[in-house]
Amino acid sequence: MLDIGTRKLIYAVGLRETLGEPVQVGNTYTICYDVLPEIRKAFATAQAGGLLVGATFGDLVIGSMNLGWELPGTFDAEFTIDDISIAYTPQ
């Protein structure tokens, strides 16, 4: 979707695609996920919506990311990331 305030595209990958199960308090999870197909979908979605006109997929770079969740109320919550990385594997 388009964020009206920033005029930036927001494309979120859901729990079903990444972890596949609801998160349980106290558990540790390891996720290994190929984001390239999602990036390709996001780029196609942006171009179909009139964004990134004139850009090619080769113009794209990963400049930042956001990791988090939304809570339905006022709660004191936190999570710890033990290790995070992104890697490119030529195909």
CA distances to 26, 79, 88 from 34, in Å: 26, 22, 10
**Average pLDDT, rounded, for the chain:** 84
In three-state secondary structure terms, 8 is: strand
What pLDDT does residue 63 have? Answer: 81
User: Low-confidence residues of the chain, pLDDT below 50?
Assistant: none
* pTM beyond cutoff 0.85: no
**How many distinct structural domains can be found in the chain?**
1
What pLDDT does residue 61 have? Answer: 85
d(CA 43, CA 56): 9
d(CA 84, CA 77): 20
What pLDDT does residue 55 have? Answer: 94
d(CA 44, CA 27): 36
Range of the domain at 11: 1-91
What pLDDT does residue 54 have? Answer: 92
